Structure 1
């Protein structure tokens, strides 16, 4: 699988030689912009200007306090990055619990998920056409804090200090059944990550010109663009149906009694897809069969 290399920085890191980092093979870099309702990272402007000037795929992140107001936190982040964000810019919610739990205190798993949805939606609305994802741990994923279909940047450090080549040779992590888009594999000497796309594919994805940054798994049906609601008729037979079946099973929306004839639309597809639409936050008539384009596109990005 093709990969590319990146780092992330905050006020804890001094000025970087971004041109030299790019020459060494770095393809993307993210910088902390904000935290909570009012916090701003003192070095964000310097970092992000350097990242963009070097021609790296840029991104910013916000450290979340899910026991505060998500709209105020989103507004803080939006104000921090709006002068720098544009086509090809990526946005990330840093969702991680402080060791003493002070930023999660008093909130249930469902409340945290709702908080995350509100923050993501506000940032997506502020920056239409730009990518918005979540950086979070296996525990947060297991506890259901992240909406299905959200681009995932995942931290896990199996070795301590490690070279990029070691992460590239390792198996892709599968936390709580997710396949991360980006794996932050060490924090020594700086936060290092690999993205499971080539540099060109990541740039295309960040720029909104690709909704499917990696090829479909070998031997599985290829995803196709949304064919329209009228296409989903009882008995319809197509490799697209089989691809939908595989994805629904992968995201835990498995209401199939049998996998026979999985390329033919039946009652299992309807029940499973309705479960997926509910997982995406839809309810009532909006969650009913047939699929809609928004949920279809979320289902078929590679990190769900």
Structure 2
């Protein structure tokens, strides 16, 4: 039987929660609405997310999508809302679902909706490297081809109305259009409740980027003082190898002293310019985000 853990999601429609009590009751994760569209912010997000984090739950946030608007602008709205709270282990979700009257999908084809989702996810991944980004979406959206492949799925389907966690835990795992779902939101009564198809420990590891991956975890960033011109260390060699593997500039030799050369700094700066909004000044000096990006580009986890 697949291990699972329990969670809740909230928005401005829910009052302030006793998150410590939820944790005592066995809840492992909780997600809060942060934003919608290009400008709207959830009025209770700050209160909800602060309580979720204080209780030690796996935290996350979601953005309600308007695919007939600019994905980059919408992503910027979300990024600004969650920026003060997002750190290692924080989960990000695009809430991709059609309003009943279709106003947020109006005028868009399935291909355009999928492209919107891909652009939103890419922008959020650039802003929060190493953090998981997924999609909350319906069976219809999946069937209509709105959802990119190989993205974590949080799936809503309510077969029973109000139901305890135990009923969902004992049921067959949903597989809409043959897709594997990571989270199942199985009821909205009295709160939106979900189960995750990982144990609590596995979810925490996955949220940190160290679980359920065939690629070894990125080595820890060794410290900015290691990356100055003329530095002698194995980490300089590692960064050079990642940049070469990822196709940044022509192949170059690493001297026997393993020295960070001016050419190496130029290559780091080129990477920073490519992802300038996320990586900061293109100074060639490597911080944690540049280190993580170079690793992801080299290992095919991020497109150039």
* Structure 2 length-normalised TM: 0.71
Between the aligned partners of 2:191 and 2:125, the Cα distance in structure 1 is 29
1:294 to 284, 300, 303: 300
Q: Helix, strand or coil for the counterpart of 1:167?
A: helix
Partner of 1:185: 186
Partner of 1:103: 104
Q: Helix, strand or coil for the counterpart of 1:62?
A: strand
List per-residue Cα deviations over 1:36-94 (Å, max 9, x = no partner).
00000000000000000000000000000000010000000000000000000000000
Partner of 1:5: 6
List per-residue Cα deviations over 1:119-172 (Å, max 9, x = no partner).
000000000000000000011001111110000000000000000000000000
Determine which structure has more spread, i.e. the larger CA radius of gyration. 2
Partner of 1:31: 32
Structure 1: stretches of 5+ with no match in the other structure: 213-223, 227-291, 298-304
| Alpha-carbon RMSD | 1.4
Structure 2: stretches of 5+ with no match in the other structure: 217-297
Between the aligned partners of 1:225 and 1:294, the Cα distance in structure 2 is 9
Between the aligned partners of 1:25 and 1:225, the Cα distance in structure 2 is 31
Partner of 1:85: 86
Which runs of structure 2 are paired with 1:225-244 in the superposition (5 Å)? Answer: 225=215
Partner of 2:223: none
Which runs of structure 2 are paired with 1:160-239 in the superposition (5 Å)? Answer: 160-212=161-213, 225=215
Partner of 1:40: 41
Partner of 2:141: 140
Between the aligned partners of 1:98 and 1:192, the Cα distance in structure 2 is 21
Partner of 1:216: none
Which runs of structure 2 are paired with 1:43-62 in the superposition (5 Å)? Answer: 43-62=44-63
Q: 1:211 deviation in Å? A: 3.1
Q: 1:210 deviation in Å? A: 1.4
Between the aligned partners of 2:65 and 2:193, the Cα distance in structure 1 is 21
Between the aligned partners of 2:18 and 2:150, the Cα distance in structure 1 is 35
Between the aligned partners of 2:173 and 2:113, the Cα distance in structure 1 is 27
Between the aligned partners of 1:52 and 1:208, the Cα distance in structure 2 is 18
* Structure 1 length-normalised TM: 0.71
Count of paired positions:
220
Q: 1:179 deviation in Å? A: 1.3
Q: 1:225 deviation in Å? A: 4.3
Between the aligned partners of 1:51 and 1:93, the Cα distance in structure 2 is 19
Partner of 1:22: 23
